[in-house]
Structure 1
Amino acid sequence: MTIDIQPAVRLFGLSGSLRRNSYCRSVLEALQAILPPDVRLALHEPRLPLYSEDEDGEASPHEVRRFRASIAASDGVVIVTPEYNHSLPGALKNALDWASRPLGAAALTGKPVVVISVSPAFTGGVRAQSHLHDVLLAIRARIVAGPQIVIGNIAAKISDGRFVDESSLCFALETIGALLKDVGRGAPAAAAASSHVLEEGAV
């Protein structure tokens, strides 16, 4: 008798903020805590040198090669971005510029991506999300279809450094569930995560 053991789904979680206690990382950590064991969300920050074509190619910086390889090895990507001056942060845009290369064979090309934006304002970073969509479409990433996930007034949804808004988590999990379905591991994983939120309360 053979036992069919499926490998874990690997998600690449990218915080758009470099701030030590960033709201973006808090959201990713909350999602990481409620996803089922067979869905692994690894957290990353866009700490990369400024993009230069002179440094791209075989001699690209080690951290860039590692960043690209981690995206390529993932089954999907979850990006959480703040809004800076009505747009996405420079560090995040720079990381996506690195991830957009090499042309035609970029790690993000064809990769399913879930986009979440956050802001202390009630608008929830919707303008940053719009610009981020434009960048991802240019790279030819596959933005997972669904309602926009915008989390406004986020400062009031953080307690002791943790993101604790259950409704936002459940809403985000619906789109992550669509991503899991896209990679062939659909409804059960998302349902398990949603059930965990409802049973255990906010993380």
Structure 2
Amino acid sequence: MAATINILGIAGSLRKDSLNRSLLRAAVELAPEGMAITTFDLLEVPLYNGDVEADGDPEGVARFKQAIREADGVLMVTPEYNHGVPGVMKNAVDWASRPPRTAALTGKPVALMGASPGITGTARGQSQLRQAFEFTNSYCMPQPEVLVFSALDKFDASGNLTDERTRGNVTKFLVAFEAWVRRFV
């Protein structure tokens, strides 16, 4: 097998005990041999503002963009708020899409997954993110999907993913993502 691929993982929630941060931790734990996932905390990324950008990327944004550039692929673990992608995740994509054509996300393989207490998982939020990747020319993995629904029943009080079926789905997803990333690196 080729060298280890490096994946940058981000969770689209700022809450330290969020379901999606827990799902990202599970992905780090379940990553297949040949894949290493490092995480970046979006707490460092301020709200996008073109005036701020014109003066130069804030330190957290510069680190975020550099982490994306150094990664072979990006794993985005997103909640869904009000039937859509949360502002935290969209804001991260907005910063990482600048400047156009030379942005950190340009040509980058991306995968999406998410967890929600609701019955549709994060299907709508993921769908909206996929649209944003058309602008960035990112290669978003189409299948398989991980839409963790009724997520409160699948994690323990410490945020560990305990549902074996979901753990299996995440493992299969990560194996597919490894193959997806290797198509582009």
TM-score in terms of structure 2 length: 0.89
Aligned partner (choices 95, 100, 109) of residue 98 of structure 1 = 95
Q: Mean alpha-carbon deviation: is it higher for 12-21 or for 117-126?
A: 117-126
**SS class of match (2:182):** coil
Match of 2:67 among 65, 70, 75: 70
Aligned residue-pair number: 181
Rounded Cα–Cα distance in structure 2 between residues aligned with 1:80 and 1:35: 14
**Residue 135 of structure 1: CA displacement?**
1.5
- Return 5+ residue gaps in structure 2 as ranges: none
Does 2:94 correspond to 1:110?
no
| Bigger radius of gyration | 1
Which of 142, 146, 153 is the aligned partner of 2:143?
146
Q: Which runs of 5+ in 1 are unaligned?
A: 186-203
CA RMSD of aligned residues (A): 1.9
Separation of aligned partners in 2, 1:169 and 1:141: 27
Structure 1 distance, partners of 2:109, 2:126, is: 16
- 2:178 matched residue in structure 1: 180
- State the secondary structure of the residue aligned to 1:40: strand
Separation in structure 2 between the aligned mates of residue 148 and residue 6 of structure 1, nearest angstrom: 25
Match of 1:10 among 6, 9, 14: 6
- Deviation at 1:59? 1.9
2:130 aligned residue (129, 133, 156): 133
Distance 1:179 1:36, change over 3 A: closer
Distance 1:147 1:181, change over 3 A: closer
Q: Tell me which of 161, 164, 167 is aligned to 1:163.
A: 161
Q: Identity of paired residues, percent?
A: 36
1:144–1:175 Cα contact (<8 Å) kept: no
